[in-house]
Chains A and B, each alone.
Chain A
């Protein structure tokens, strides 16, 4: 019988370094984060949406984007999750990830939400329902990547969407 026969395992591993080309659009975006702590989106000439993160083309209108627009640094957390599980190879929990709609942007940015109590997700949910206002916190030492924004933190400025 097949089920009574022994089947062994052979060890394997993938550990393959890459260097991804960011392209000139993302590179300009990162440069502005690094040099001026400014967040730039790209406007589509047809639908007028401001894409964040910025991309060189609008996939809906299928045309190149042609205009830089400063957005944020404040916005609203539209949805979030708190990770408690220590997934192998990923960062140590707990951490809060949000989709953040910055002022002036038409799309949302995925990023960390910081300076919040990660042990009370229900309280965070209640804040999102009420309009969870946040602002970008920039790192002191910036290297030109999406992590030049360290996270978004709660801010009370009375603005309501």
Chain B
């Protein structure tokens, strides 16, 4: 039982980890200071999902958010961004939804999108969230990383700088 006179502890910032766990899989983990049913609710209620799925730093805004979070249901998220000519849609199907513990869904906006599985594991009032994104092949994940690494990212410029330096120094 919760002690009601106890002052609410300042929410602690938990850390997020991301690892490429195998040739085909990316794994994200994070602990939340609340029970699993609460985290599940925030993940599966469209009005709540809208508040956290697109952090402000992305500079994107919601055009629409449809999510029928039950086994066999579908979702469709549409966003706009000053840099996009047209709104961008992300969509797929919920393959499995087990209340408070597990959600499995597909990403169908691209041909080789991953199958994602999120699990919520409660312990002592906290919830360990593990999100696994499984790609169909090593190539599919490599390609996703490659296309995400190019274009507007700052990294290529810095690599070019480094390459130039290598040429002159070696």
Do A and B pair up? The answer is no
What residues of chain B have their CB less than 8 Å away from a CB belonging to chain A?
none
